[in-house]
Structure 1
Amino acid sequence: MWRRTYLLLLLVRIYLALSPSYIHPDENFQGPEIIAGQIFGYPNLKTWEFTSSRPVRSVFPLWPVYGLPMLVLQWVWTETGKEAVAPRLVYYALRLLMFILSFVLEDWAIHELVHSPRERRIAVVLVASSYVTWTYQTHTFSNAVETLVVLWSIVMIQRILDNKHRSSLLSSALLGSLVAFGVCNRITIPAFLLPPGLYLLPHFLRKPFSLLILGTTFILTSILGIGVDTIFYHPSSPEPLFQILRSEPTITPLNSLLYNTSTSNLSLHGLHPPYQHLIASLPLLLGPALLLFWYIRKPSLSVISALSATVLLSLIPHQEPRFLLPAVPLILSSVRLPSSGALKRYWFISWIIFNTILGVLMGIYHQGGVVPAQLWLGQQRQHDSGLSEVFWWRTYSPPVWLLGGKKLLTVDLMGMKAEEMMDRVTGATEGYKGGDPTSVGLVAPKSSVDLDAWIEKTKSVMVFEQLWTTGNHLNLDDLDFEADGIVGTLERVVGRRGLVIWKVSRIPEA
């Protein structure tokens, strides 16, 4: 029975992995956006993490995770005689890759960490039935990569502890490389690994050569990461790499640590109280599984890692649920189900409802029209659509790399006030040369009623032509319970869900 359940959950996971929902801009702009520009020459947008004088984002982890599959795709495509790899193919190939990494590495790690066959079956099914596994882990998040690094680092720690009579040199070497890779990926990884790692101190006292091997692989991997980052951030330097490494190395984890220890910097991204993770992040990620804290089997490395990270990351003023992503499989693999039959049944019902709702929301509808819209725009010939500039309003920032080689100016108006947006779009239709009227694109959610009023008000001056639309788009940033009430907000945001690409033209004066 559990095998059939697991296979069914795998189908759900792969379906949502290939559904183009858009959970957070970081899933594109901190990974594929950068590497696709490097490999395919696609126009791309580098965010502040990559353009500041002290860059805080390392490209070293991006190359093995995203760069290698892109290079393979490029090689295969070249061998077939075709000119360029389509962004659509790259996008879905990366999603499929993240599914495979989740299916193979995450589930394998659970098998390693849970020794009892019966408890292992429960742990694997719980992790596989979590919407976090279906969505966050199958998107191109650095947090998803961090989850895999944390799990396998704990596996290596456990292997070293279990093998008391040997030095466990291979496990020590892998642990050193994993930690260095993880620090380059996300500076928060020590919060998950430092407390479990303290259990290795007695082993290192008995087997100091293990510590030497661990330190050596950590240093070598760190040097490799610093070298890759230094080359990336000094592309036109005439000096040899060795000289740059000596005089001006780019150490992105250090820059990230210094940046995130400044409250003034974090205030730009939003400050949260220290209990934010406890009252908001964990309930959002785990839902009814929080009740199973009463049924934790015993203190283990997994539990220690999850709890220590929650405490340590709560000390940082800026907190987001995805920062605790590695804690989800760690906790779900460490709990037991209620012993009471009725209680167990009610818990299962609540678990299924919770993950179904969040899975559909985050896996299908959350900003689900942004990627398909950008892919559609990238496939259109300019003389067919008549667009050379597209304004995006009240959506997440569109990934520019999805346009491929198309020269289409993307203007992100974000949450700009409706009046200002109207002025920008209206001004753009006045033309670029000689005052001749021109057409521009406007991408906006259907739930924005301000756009309805504008269309009706200016219909004698402006012409709106709907070029493309989808209903699989929910804009949760458009919620306004204070102004519209609960029913009115749900009718507008959910009842009018969808995204539209408009062609906006000015009627020529007679």
Structure 2
Amino acid sequence: MWRRTYLLLLLIRVYFALSPSYLHPDEHFQGPEVFAGRVLAYPSQLPWEFTTSLPIRSVFPLWPIYEVPMSLLKWFYTEIGSGSPPPQLVYYALRAGMFLLSFVLEDWAIYELVPSPRHRRATVVLVASSYVTWTYQTHTFSNSLETLLVAWGLVLIRRIVENKVRAVYPLHSIPVLLPCATLGCAGPRTDQLQQRSSYFSYAVFSFIAVVGVFNRITFPAFLLFPGLQLLPYFQRKPASLAAIIGFGLLFSLTAIYIDTSFYRPTASILSIIRDPIITPLNNILYNTDKNNLAIHGLHPHHQHFLANLTQLLGPAYIVMILSLFSRPIVPFAMRNARALSAVSATFILSIFPHQEPRFLLPCVPLLLSCVRMHRNRLFLATWIIFNAAMGFLMGVYHQGGIVPAQLAMRDIINTNTVAQGIKSAPDATVFWWKTYSPPLWLLGADGDHASADASASSYADAGANTALNKTTSISTFDLMGIPGPEMITRLDSSVPTCGSSSPVYLVAPTSATFLDSYIPDSSETERAANLQLYRLWSYRQHLNLDDMDFGEDGVKETLGRVIGRRGLGVWSVRRRCK
């Protein structure tokens, strides 16, 4: 039964992995956007974390996740003579890669971390049924990678402490041991194999620790207290501590060299040694300044415990809270390194006033592994309803039209250009309003491109309609959530005069009632200014949760507008000419 359930949950995870929802700008701008321009000559605009004088993001952990797949796709398309791979393929290849990492590494780690064979299967199924596993863990987040690193860090700590031959052997040693154990052949001595595999574990643990720190500076918070159980082991075997430190220094120097070379491509080895870029240090200095955190939003210190964990775990978190009121005070299921890691990390991260739910992603599988369901029907029913609702909300509808719109943008513009009878492709300007920042790399242009300013970039299109005989340059402007009148002013300054074909486009949620008076078939057309919007494209599976104004519109009207008129539209903006 559990195998069929797990297989069904695996198919659900595949579905959400390939659904183009958009959870947070960081899933694009701190990952694929960084390498798409360098590897594939796609349009890209590095975020401020990579362009400041003291960069706070490392490319060391990003290289195998993003640059390697992009380079392989580029090599393949070059070999077959097809130019660069389409952005759709790259996008879904990266999502598929994140799915495989989640499926293989996360589930495997949780299976190893739960010592009781009786609870292993139920725990793996419970983690696989979480919407966090379906959505966040299959998106290109640094937090998703952190979840895997934390889980395997705990696995390695356990292996090192137990120091059992069967636990620390590399897999390739098993075929050698089994025949020799049964036939009595002269194979490698047990203590020699154990020593080799121990050093292998030290190297892997050091690598995980270094990648974790360079990936996110919050990583040590999850292993700080569980790692204390290594102290007696180090006291008995000081050489193990020296080995871990030695491997850690080697990997750290490698990471520093890669980061410095990335940010200073022309730097010599001597200059890198003299003035290295240590991104984790820069990140710590930035995030310990409360003025910097205020830019991103300040939250109360109880945000993680009261709101964020509830949002991530739902009824499972309520069950865990209720279990604290039973005797003993700390339930037996919570007396383990997994719970210690999650709870202590949440306490540490609560010290900092900027708190987002995704910061606690590593806590989700760890805490779920401590839940004992006992086949409670009420819990199962609420758990299924909660994850189904949150799965479709976050995995399908949340800003779900941005990626499809950006992937289709060139075809939309080219089709509209042909429909207007234009024989040459004019430069197009696309304004995005009341959406997350559009990922520029999804435009997939191969031509030269240049940044227009801090919030806009122009790119050449290598895949324009061949009938136009000219590439289309697209300028993208992110207007974020500025007031409607100010947005219209920006459009009005860009739309050409009457008699000229308009190359200006607007991407906005269809739930924005402000746009109604600018649509020609609207009954309120007479109230409009001298601009008109002609819808060219729409995507229904899009919810803009940032556009809820309960105070002004009321609860019923707001939900009716945001949900009833859900969707994302692309409009051609033209002047009203008499």
Q: Counterparts of 1:87 and 1:378 in 2: how far apart (Å)?
A: 12
Local SS of the residue matching 2:370 = coil
TM-score of the superposed pair, with normalisation by structure 1? 0.95
What does 1:281-300 correspond to in 2, within 5 Å?
281-293=308-320, 294=323, 297-300=333-336
Local SS of the residue matching 2:506 = strand
Q: Counterparts of 2:46 and 2:555 in 1: how far apart (Å)?
A: 38
What does residue 132 of structure 1 align with? Answer: 132
C-alpha displacement at 1:227, in angstroms? 0.9
Does structure 2 conserve the Cα–Cα contact (< 8 Å) formed by 1:296 and 1:336?
Answer: no
- Calculate percent identity across the aligned residue pairs: 54
What is the aligned counterpart of 2:396 among 361, 364, 367?
364
What is the aligned counterpart of 1:215 among 241, 245, 257?
245
Q: Counterparts of 1:275 and 1:459 in 2: how far apart (Å)?
A: 47
The two structures, once aligned, show a CA RMSD in angstroms of 1.8
What does residue 244 of structure 1 align with? Answer: 271
1:336 aligns with 2:366: no
Query: Greater shift after overlay, 435-444 or 97-106?
Result: 435-444
Q: Counterparts of 2:411 and 2:516 in 1: how far apart (Å)?
A: 28
Sort the Cα spacing of 1:457 and 1:186 in 2 relative to 1 into closer, same or farther, 3 A.
Answer: farther
Sort the Cα spacing of 1:483 and 1:228 in 2 relative to 1 into closer, same or farther, 3 A.
Answer: same
Query: Greater shift after overlay, 215-224 or 150-159?
Result: 215-224
C-alpha displacement at 1:336, in angstroms? 1.2
1:273 aligns with 2:304: no
1:389 aligns with 2:422: no
What does 1:96-495 correspond to in 2, within 5 Å?
96-163=96-163, 168-235=198-265, 237=266, 239-240=267-268, 242-293=269-320, 294=323, 297-337=333-373, 339=374, 344-380=376-412, 382=414, 383-384=417-418, 388-405=428-445, 406=461, 407-430=473-496, 438-455=502-519, 456-457=525-526, 461-495=530-564
Structure 2: runs of 5+ lacking an equivalent: 166-193, 324-330, 420-425, 446-460, 462-472, 520-524
C-alpha displacement at 1:453, in angstroms? 2.7
What letter is aligned with 2:156? M
C-alpha displacement at 1:266, in angstroms? 0.3
The structure with more radius of gyration: 2
Does structure 2 conserve the Cα–Cα contact (< 8 Å) formed by 1:369 and 1:470?
Answer: yes
Q: Counterparts of 1:377 and 1:213 in 2: how far apart (Å)?
A: 53
Does structure 1 conserve the Cα–Cα contact (< 8 Å) formed by 2:397 and 2:543?
Answer: yes
Local SS of the residue matching 1:268 = helix
Does structure 2 conserve the Cα–Cα contact (< 8 Å) formed by 1:33 and 1:399?
Answer: yes
What letter is aligned with 1:467? L
Q: Counterparts of 1:310 and 1:381 in 2: how far apart (Å)?
A: 47
Query: Greater shift after overlay, 245-254 or 148-157?
Result: 245-254
Local SS of the residue matching 2:45 = coil
What letter is aligned with 1:283? T
Local SS of the residue matching 2:505 = strand
Local SS of the residue matching 1:442 = strand
What letter is aligned with 1:328? V
Structure 1: runs of 5+ lacking an equivalent: none
Q: Counterparts of 2:285 and 2:98 in 1: how far apart (Å)?
A: 30
- Per-residue CA deviation, residues 259-300 of structure 1 (Å, 9 max, x unaligned), is 000000000000111100011100000000013322651411
Q: Counterparts of 1:172 and 1:384 in 2: how far apart (Å)?
A: 62
C-alpha displacement at 1:314, in angstroms? 0.2
- Per-residue CA deviation, residues 170-194 of structure 1 (Å, 9 max, x unaligned), is 2111111111011111010010011
What is the aligned counterpart of 1:498 among 561, 567, 573?
567
Local SS of the residue matching 2:81 = coil
What does residue 188 of structure 2 align with? Answer: none
What letter is aligned with 2:291? S
Sort the Cα spacing of 1:427 and 1:5 in 2 relative to 1 into closer, same or farther, 3 A.
Answer: same
What does residue 28 of structure 2 align with? Answer: 28
What does 1:36-55 correspond to in 2, within 5 Å?
36-55=36-55
Does structure 2 conserve the Cα–Cα contact (< 8 Å) formed by 1:164 and 1:203?
Answer: no
Does structure 2 conserve the Cα–Cα contact (< 8 Å) formed by 1:296 and 1:334?
Answer: no
What letter is aligned with 2:134? W
C-alpha displacement at 1:387, in angstroms? 6.0
C-alpha displacement at 1:76, in angstroms? 1.5
C-alpha displacement at 1:115, in angstroms? 2.3
What does residue 470 of structure 2 align with? Answer: none
C-alpha displacement at 1:243, in angstroms? 1.5
Q: Counterparts of 1:368 and 1:125 in 2: how far apart (Å)?
A: 27
Aligned length: 500
Does structure 1 conserve the Cα–Cα contact (< 8 Å) formed by 2:20 and 2:396?
Answer: yes
Local SS of the residue matching 2:296 = coil
Does structure 1 conserve the Cα–Cα contact (< 8 Å) formed by 2:518 and 2:529?
Answer: no
C-alpha displacement at 1:225, in angstroms? 1.0
Query: Greater shift after overlay, 413-422 or 288-297?
Result: 288-297
TM-score of the superposed pair, with normalisation by structure 2? 0.84
Q: Counterparts of 1:316 and 1:460 in 2: how far apart (Å)?
A: 47
Sort the Cα spacing of 1:309 and 1:435 in 2 relative to 1 into closer, same or farther, 3 A.
Answer: farther
- Per-residue CA deviation, residues 406-446 of structure 1 (Å, 9 max, x unaligned), is 23111000001100000001110036xx9956330100001
Q: Counterparts of 1:426 and 1:129 in 2: how far apart (Å)?
A: 49
What letter is aligned with 1:461? N
Sort the Cα spacing of 1:202 and 1:460 in 2 relative to 1 into closer, same or farther, 3 A.
Answer: closer
Does structure 1 conserve the Cα–Cα contact (< 8 Å) formed by 2:87 and 2:442?
Answer: yes
C-alpha displacement at 1:228, in angstroms? 1.0
Does structure 1 conserve the Cα–Cα contact (< 8 Å) formed by 2:77 and 2:83?
Answer: yes
C-alpha displacement at 1:458, in angstroms? 6.1
C-alpha displacement at 1:334, in angstroms? 2.0
What letter is aligned with 1:420? E
Local SS of the residue matching 2:538 = strand
- Per-residue CA deviation, residues 327-375 of structure 1 (Å, 9 max, x unaligned), is 00011112211x4x6xx10010000010000000000000000000000
Local SS of the residue matching 2:554 = helix
